[in-house]
Amino acid sequence: MKLLTVLAVPLVLAAAGAAAGVFYLQSQGVTPRALAPYLLKRTSGHNGVIVGAGQLAASTLLRLDRGAVQAYALPPLTLGAQPEGPPAPAGNERLVASADEARQAIANAAAGDIITFLPGDYAIRGTVYARQAGSADAPIVVRAVRPGTVTIALNAGEGFAVSAPYWRFENLTIRGACRSDSSCDHAFHVVGKAHHFVARNNTISDFNAHFKINGIRGSFPDHGLIESNTLGNTAPRRTTHPVTPIDLVAASDWRIRANLIHDFVKSWGDRISYGAFAKGGAERTVFERNVVLCERALVGQPGQRVGLSFGGGGTGKRYCRDGRCITEHDGGVMRANLVSGCSDVGIYLNSAANTQVLHNTLLDTAGVQVRFSESGATVEGNLVDGALHSRDGGVLRVGDNLTTAIGWLYLGRHPQRVLFAEPKRLDLRWRDAAPRRDGGTGGNDLCGATRGSGAGYGAFQDFHACVQGGL
C-alpha cells in the first residue's frame, strides 16, 4: 500500500499539471491544431530525439483535434456554379468567337450590350479592360449561353480589369494559365468606379485572389454581388502574394452569396490564406449561404487557412477608405455559411465593429475568434465544432449557440461533429434528430429553406436540400 501511495503522488501531480496546462491553453484560445505547428517549429533543428518527440506530439495533437484529414469528392451541391445559369437578359447581343473579338467587344461596349462567347476554348494573353459604363437599366453583360461551354484561359496578373459601373459576368469557366503562380493574381480586378459589379454562376480556378476589389483615387466599387460561383485552386499557390479567392478592400455594401470556395492553400511566404475577407474600412458586407472548404483536395499542407473574415490580416492606412482604418470593417453580417476543414479559425474578426455572426456551421476549424478592442460581435444560433474566443480586448456577445470548449479538443472530444453522419466527407445528414433552439433569426438557411421559429442550430435544417438529387 505504501508503494502504491508513493507511485500515486507523481501521477496525481502529472495529471494536475496536465489539467493546469490545458486550462491555460483554453484561456489563451490555443487549440491543438494551433499548438501542433508551434511544437514542430520549436523542436526543429535539435537532436533526433527532440525532433522525434516534437513530431509525435504534433501528430497526436492534430489527430485529437482534426481526426483523419483526407481528400474527398464533393456531392453535386445546389451552392456554387450550377449547370443551368441565369436566363439571357434583353439587350444588344454581340457574338464573339475569338480572343481578339472578345477584347474588342469589351473595349468598345455600350450600355445594354450582351457580349456572348460562342462555345469553345479561348486563350487570352494580357489584361482585358472594361472601361465603358453600363447603367442600372442597361448593364453590360459578358456571358456564355450555357455554363460549361466556354472556357477562358487567362495569362496575366489581372485577367479582366473592370473600372466602370454596371458590368455583369455570367456562366463562364475561367482558369489561370500562367507559368508562375505570382503572374496570375486576379481573374477579376474590380476597382474605382466599378460599382454595381455582378459575377454570377462562374467557375474560376488557379488564381491567388480570384476577385480583387478595391478603391482608387477616392472612388470605390460599392454595391457589388458575387453569387453562385465556384472558386478554387487545383494546386497550392507557390507565391508570396496574398492568397484569398475574394479579397475585398475598402468597398462597401457587397453581397457574397451562395458560393462554393475551396482549396486556397498558400505554400510560400507566410503561408496564411483566407477563403474570403472584407477589410480596409469597408462597411455592411454580407457573407451569406456560402460553403467554404479550406481543404478538400489539397490536404495536409503546412500553413494557416482561415475561412471567412472581416478584417483579414489588416490594411495599410493608405489603402483604407478613410485613410485611417479606425476599424477594418463595420456593420458586417455572416449568416448561414458552412465552413469546414480549416487549419485555423473558421471565422476571424479583426477590428470588425458591429458584426453579426448568425446561424453558421463550423466543422473541423479552430472556431470563432474576435480580436482587438475595435471588434464587437453578436454570435447567435451557430453550431461550432470548436470554441468562441476573444483576445486583445475583442468584445464577444454570446447568445444561444452549440460550441465545444477548447479543453475538450485536447481530449479528442467533438460533441458537435458527431451530430453528423460523416462530416469529413461532407455527408451532413443528422445522425439523430436535429438539435432545435427556441428562438430564430428568420431568413433563408444555407440550402434556401425559410428559417422559422424553432429552427435548428447552424446553417441548415436539412442538408439533403443542399445536394442536387439529395444524398
d(CA 103, CA 117): 11
Shared domain check, 263 and 298: yes
d(CA 222, CA 136): 14
In a domain, 171, yes or no: yes
What pTM was estimated for this model as a whole?
A: 0.93
Shared domain check, 298 and 423: yes
Shared domain check, 244 and 101: no
In a domain, 197, yes or no: no
| C-alpha angle 47-48-49 in degrees, rounded to nearest 5 | 95
d(CA 335, CA 100): 42
Which parts of the chain sit beneath pLDDT 50?
A: 1-16
The helix (H) or strand (E) run that includes residue 169 is strand 167-170
d(CA 203, CA 224): 18
In a domain, 205, yes or no: no
Question: Beta strands 383-384 and 120-125: pairing type?
Answer: unpaired
Shared domain check, 310 and 248: yes
Asked whether 226 and 257 are in contact (CB, 8 A), the reply is yes
- Give the contacts of 314 (CB within 8 A, at least 6 positions apart): 279, 325, 328, 350, 351
d(CA 342, CA 385): 11
- Within 228-297, residue ranges assigned H as helices are none
The residue from 224, 241, 268 where one domain ends is 224
Q: Which of 88, 134, 81 minimizes the C-alpha distance to 110?
A: 134
pLDDT of residue 375: 97
Shared domain check, 41 and 108: no
Q: How many CB atoms lie within 10 A of CB 454?
A: 10
Label residue 198 left, alpha or beta by phi (over 0 means left) and psi (-120 to 50 means alpha). Answer: beta
Shared domain check, 236 and 176: no
Shared domain check, 259 and 160: no
In a domain, 202, yes or no: no
d(CA 181, CA 196): 29
Question: Beta strands 186-191 and 211-214: pairing type?
Answer: parallel
Shared domain check, 344 and 258: yes
The helix (H) or strand (E) run that includes residue 395 is strand 395-398
Beta partners for residue 293, in sequence order: 262, 340
pLDDT of residue 68: 86
Shared domain check, 238 and 220: no
Convert 27-42 to b/e letters by CB count within 10 Å (16 or more is b). Answer: eebbbbbbbbbebbee
The residue from 202, 224, 246 where one domain ends is 224
Please give the C-alpha separations between residue 158 and each of 86, 181, 187, in angstroms, as whole numbers: 26, 12, 6
Residue 132, classed as helix, strand or coil, is: coil
Task: Give counts: helices (H), strands (E), the chain.
Answer: 5, 37
Q: Residue for cell digits 475569338? A: 98
pLDDT of residue 440: 62
Residue 61, classed as helix, strand or coil, is: helix
Q: Which of 301, 313, 431, 292 minimizes the C-alpha distance to 364?
A: 292
The residue from 198, 224, 250 where one domain ends is 224
Total number of domains in the chain: 3
Reported as a single tens digit per residue, the pLDDT across 395-437 is 999 999 999 999 999 999 999 999 999 998 899 999 998 888 8
Q: Which of 379, 387, 381, 459 minimizes the C-alpha distance to 426?
A: 459
Convert 383-404 to b/e letters by CB count within 10 Å (16 or more is b). Answer: bbbbbbbbeeebbbeeeebbbb
In a domain, 143, yes or no: yes
Asked whether 379 and 402 are in contact (CB, 8 A), the reply is no
pLDDT of residue 8: 41
Shared domain check, 260 and 132: no
pLDDT of residue 21: 64
Asked whether 39 and 54 are in contact (CB, 8 A), the reply is yes
pLDDT of residue 441: 63
pLDDT of residue 25: 83
Shared domain check, 350 and 239: yes
Q: Which range marks the domain in which residue 34 is found?
A: 2-66
In a domain, 74, yes or no: no
In a domain, 25, yes or no: yes
Shared domain check, 279 and 376: yes
In a domain, 271, yes or no: yes
